[in-house]
């Protein structure tokens, strides 16, 4: 695993990640802990709901995305550290049987005035289904340590 | 539990929620599944990290927030359904011993052109520590069913 410093990261770089298979069991397990609503917990209740069938919590999709990001190709030396999310969109609900992966693209690299020796990498992270269609997209400013600093 | 329709929700309304105690065990458990980085998993490694001590994953803070929202006072008839997040900021890392709660304020209520019978409730949800200071803030457009539709 290459430990990336700020100077190693360029606008336009793209980083891949492994895949994750979503099951009805892991949808219900996450929801039971963090988003206990009927349409994430029970097939019969979900059929008559807004989602018309069992759907993963959007926060589950976000958590899967973070796991894939951490296990993926983008490996900053200080870890993946974000101060927030500029915008996050769920394009469609994730369903049992979906196999997800993540693609991250560097939008901008700049030094951080408030924290010398670090910089901000603005990254757009897209979570894709098996057909390559986006299920979630977000942009986040990440804090990355500089080699010179 | 009052089931709220779009017509029951007004700009400026505030909804509370129960509390959640964060422990080093639940920080590590969440991180092991969804954000397996040393500063979320191991006290000794975390001491020398960017976070200078064990810190919850930001996605864990988000998941706790969703749980508290679902268990709280805001109870739309079709459940809490979001299409995304406009902006999410982590004001500080959440630590073992933090006791969190959630306060949600309605910023805007409007009918949904693309989906008759439903409306959008723009809600700002602030996650507060025991001192009442924000640890996370996000704004999200939620889909709520109208009584007349």
- Kindly state the percentage of chain A with pLDDT values over 70: 99
- For residue A130, give the DSSP letter: T
Band of pLDDT at residue A135, cut at 50, 70 and 90: very high
User: Which residues from chain B sit within 8 angstroms of residue A33, using beta carbons?
Assistant: 63, 67
pLDDT tens digits along A62-90: 999 999 999 999 999 999 999 899 999 99
Q: A35 and chain B: CB distance < 8 Å anywhere?
A: yes
Model-wide pTM > 0.90: yes
Facing B59 at nearest CB: one of A38, A63, A81: A63
Cβ separation B85–A81 shorter than 8 A: no
pLDDT tens digits along B9-25: 999 999 999 999 999 99
What is d(CA A81, CA A148) in angstroms, rounded to the nearest whole number?
19
pLDDT tens digits along B111-147: 999 989 999 999 999 999 999 999 999 999 999 999 9
CA quadruple A121, B124, B134, A37: dihedral sign: negative
Looking at the predicted structure, is the pLDDT value of residue B53 above 60?
A: yes
What is d(CA B146, CA B77) in angstroms, rounded to the nearest whole number?
9
Reduced to 3 states (helix: H, G, I; strand: E, B; else coil), residue A105 is: strand
Query: Residues 76-135, chain B: which have Cβ within 8 Å of A?
Result: 78-90
ipTM over 0.90: yes
Facing A81 at nearest CB: one of B36, B50, B86: B50
User: Which residues from chain B sit within 8 angstroms of residue A59, using beta carbons?
Assistant: 59, 62-63, 66
* Span A43-48, average pLDDT: 94
Facing A62 at nearest CB: one of B37, B38, B59: B59
What is d(CA B116, CA B65) in angstroms, rounded to the nearest whole number?
29
- The residue with greater pLDDT, B2 or B20, is B20
Q: What is the pLDDT of residue A83?
A: 84
Facing A88 at nearest CB: one of B64, B78, B85: B85
Q: What is the pLDDT of residue B149?
A: 55
Cβ separation A59–B36 shorter than 8 A: no
Angle, CA of A84, B43 and B90, to the nearest 5°: 15
Q: Burial, A125: exposed, middle or buried (Cβ in 10 Å; 0-12, 13-18, 19+)? A: buried
Looking at the predicted structure, is the pLDDT value of residue A149 above 80?
A: no
In this structure, are strands B134-145 and B20-21 parallel, antiparallel, or unpaired? unpaired
- 3-class SS string, B110-144: EECCCCCCEEEEEEEEEEECCCCCEEEEEEEEEEE
Nearest residue in chain B measured CA to CA from A65: B34
Q: What is the pLDDT of residue B34?
A: 98
């Amino acid at each position: 695993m290459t430990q990336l410093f700020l100077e190693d990261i360029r606008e336009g770089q793209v980083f891949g990640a492994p895949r994750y298979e979503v099951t009805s069991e892991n949808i219900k397990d996450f929801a039971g802990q963090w988003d206990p609503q009927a349409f994430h917990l029970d097939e019969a209740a979900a059929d008559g709901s807004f989602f018309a069938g069992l759907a993963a919590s959007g926060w589950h999709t976000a958590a899967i995305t973070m796991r894939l990001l951490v296990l993926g190709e983008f490996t900053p030396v200080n870890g993946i550290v974000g101060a927030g999310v500029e915008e996050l969109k769920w394009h469609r609900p994730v369903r049992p049987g979906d196999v997800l992966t993540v693609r991250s693209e560097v939008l901008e690299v700049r030094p951080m005035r408030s924290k010398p020796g670090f910089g901000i990498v603005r990254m757009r992270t897209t979570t894709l289904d098996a057909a390559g269609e986006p299920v979630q997209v977000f942009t986040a400013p990440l804090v990355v340590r500089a080699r010179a600093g």
